[in-house]
Amino acid sequence: MTATGLPRAREIAEAVTDPELPMLTLADLGVLRGVELTGDGTVVVTLTPTYSGCPAMAEMRADVHRGLTAGGFERVRVRTALDPPWTTDWISPRGRHRLAEHGIAPPGTAPARGGPVPLRLEPPRAQVRCPRCGSPRTEELSRFSATACKALRRCTDCAEPFEHVKEI
């Protein structure tokens, strides 16, 4: 056994990266919700899914499990927490910085929910800055991109297309 104890387990779990956004750790993404050590020495890691159908969820659980096992923890359990639902507001400042560094515009503030959700038919106002040139003049090409969590946009100044993590 290379290491035991809660601090080490937390350190390992926090270092696991997202399979689809590998510049972010699960901790940066806000998907890692807790690391605990039970009386019998089992490490219990709690993850929350970003989207109901996110295909990366199984990979994340497997990566956490594998990381901790390789780190010397023999008993590992990965739990799922559905409540409260994940929101892009949980992406850490470091995570947002890392996204922008890699050409993906980070999300703005998630819409507040409660009661009926308003429907907006006008194109959303551009509040998304181009992660390459910094211009605020960008437009949405598609509300869905390579993954459900991203939208596809284009900068009207530098003309580069880029992805944007949508606010949910």
**Which residue number, 126 or 148, has a Cβ lying nearer to other proteins?**
148
75 near other proteins, rule: CB under 8 A: no
Q: How far is CA 5 from the centre of its chain?
A: 26
**Which residue number, 1 or 82, has a Cβ lying nearer to other proteins?**
82
- Chain residues 47-66 in contact with other proteins, contact rule CB under 8 A: 49, 51-59, 61-63, 65-66
Tell the smallest beta-carbon distance from residue 78 to other proteins (Å): 7
77 near other proteins, rule: CB under 8 A: yes
Tell the smallest beta-carbon distance from residue 127 to other proteins (Å): 16
125 near other proteins, rule: CB under 8 A: no
Tell the smallest beta-carbon distance from residue 165 to other proteins (Å): 13
* Whether the Cβ atoms of residue 95 and residue 29 lie closer than 8 Å to each other: yes
* Whether the Cβ atoms of residue 54 and residue 148 lie closer than 8 Å to each other: yes
Q: H/E/C letters for each residue in 70-112?
A: HCCCCCEEEEECCCCCCCHHHCCHHHHHHHHHCCEECCCCCCC
141 near other proteins, rule: CB under 8 A: yes
Residue 149 identity: C
Contacts by 155-159 with C-beta closer than 8 Å and gap 24+? 155/130, 157/130, 157/133, 158/130, 158/132, 158/133
Q: In the complex, which residues of this chain contact other proteins (CB under 8 A)?
A: 46, 49, 51-59, 61-63, 65-66, 77-87, 113, 115-117, 119-121, 141-148, 152, 166, 168
